[in-house]
Structure 1
Amino acid sequence: MSPTVLRIVSRSSPMALAQVARVRAELAAVHPELTTTVVPVTTAGDRWPGALSALGGKGAFTKEVDAALLAGEADLAVHCVKDVPADRPLPAGTVFAAFLRRDDVRDAVVHPGGLTLDQLPPGSRIGTSSVRRIAQLAVTHPELVCVPIRGNANSRLAKLAAGEVDALLLAVSGLERIGEQDRISEVLSVDAMCPPIGAGVLALQCREDDAATIAAVTPLGDPDAWRETTAERMFLHVLQGHCNSPIAGFARAERDGRLSLRGRVFSPDGKTVLDAHEWAGPLDPATLGTSVAVALLRQGAREVIDAIPH
């Protein structure tokens, strides 16, 4: 029996609510008879101004959402996959029911004067707290200075306008979701800035015993996004990276059914760069993710990751 009302829990930031609006619209198209309501929560990651590692990493953005779902206060959670830890399983009793069609995985430069990374003068302050971005900038643009900056995309744009930094690095998909894509001065290729695991993918999480909700949201799932995300999350799971380890990677499903995965591990200063890229052929996505992770472990990824304080 299908539900008539679906309660959706999400972070309360403008971007998170924009993501929920997409889910509600897609649900309405498939189930016009279904009423959806939003249960907004503020997470520890939203409240904490300092480094995420002090809160135990990315789980800081998902714990309160998971708790509301498990307590029965909501039926469905909407997550950015990149914010859901892959080094440990989902909370017991929950399951991903669908991954939505993937948005742009690339990073963008936002500069008030429209300058690109190559055009920024030495010493320019780049606002980012992402260890992945910091390590890759250290490789390609060591003359630029990374300045820690937290908060949602809207608050980061406000800090840029206030002159706290000279430029920002933000996800293209995030800027598109909040209608700020016109601020982009450069879109970085995946070769110039390898994306985070799960970039551009929204996940729908349900209680595993809630068959009605799972059945209602499963049609929203995209098969390519499922294959790509499964490979990427298994890659990260096998590496067992922590919140201070710069790990990047992305899978790509081709029209002919082939699946590839590129994975990269960096030291924080960018002086060590490990790279692996494989095609699945007949391998299933999880096996591909494992294979790429093992290739990097053979190159010394375990030692690089374990040498980073966290």
Structure 2
Amino acid sequence: MNPNWLFPIGLGLGLTLFGLAGSGKQLGQIGLWLDHRDSPYTAQANALSPIIDCMNQVDVPWRVAHQAYLAEGKPRSAAPGAYDLRSQGGQDIDLAYRSSCSGDIGAKLRSLDPDNPLLAATERYQQVLARFVALTKDAYMHRLGLGRTLDEAQLDELVRQLEIQAPDYLQASNAVRQLLQPQDVEHRPQQLQRLEQRLGRNVHWALLNYMIQARSTMDLLDDGIRQRTLTPAQLSQATQRLRQAWEARQQFIGSIQDPQTREALYLWQLIAAPSQHYLQALDTLHRDWLQHAEPQRLGEDFHAVTQGYDQMLYHYNQLARSRY
């Protein structure tokens, strides 16, 4: 199977949406993370959780809004409301920044690992984000048509600043993601094993296992595309493992349930639609690849996969954060 279609996609990965694996904060709230006194792996997860929460609440919807603005051709008239995160299901950008990103989100990590390079990258990201928030804090009102009217000179300056600040933001965000993602997923298998030892393969284990499989599938595609080594067989096997992890929830439906089990199943139910879209996008990519579709079509399929994962994870984090 010709892997040449992977090359142009690999070049664009820096601008592709890659959601972060579910934060330790959210998972801890439904009993999925172990007490930090029992496990150094959970101490690491707890230390990273404020940074992950910031990225999930701001960076993920920011990138969706940015992609939408680019897809429209960056129309000048749409610039004032282009980065309205509410249009992507998030909070107002100013509120999201103040609630999740404005404080010392690296404090826990600094106490645990003061030399971690992620700390400097996070501080840089917060500085760049603060400038972007100041520039676009009225985006929601502008999208509703209620923002203050900008004259031609003000609109020109806004467009000019967006052209400068958006690339700066992406550079700072990518630096955090590149350092954060490996640290975030590094100890997940050990956490899953300890959870099984303590509670068995219960509904919480199954949900955490599914989230790990969802992230692992994206990592497989990411690495395979960057190195041009991904094969249809690898994609098929990863999709099958993910589907099995998803279907594991069925064994808990209809059984005698304690409150925590009901909460976990409710969360699983709420992410059902985006999770199915993610699986369907993986199936479509595999089918089109086997049918020797054009590279452009495969690129579109891959973009649908990344969007499916990102939307699934974004809804998971939003729902877990608000409910638990």
Shorter-normalised TM-score: what interval? under 0.3
- TM-score, normalization by structure 1: 0.22
TM-score after normalising by structure 2: 0.22
Q: Whose RCO is larger (CA < 8 A, sep 6+)?
A: 2
Higher strand share: 1
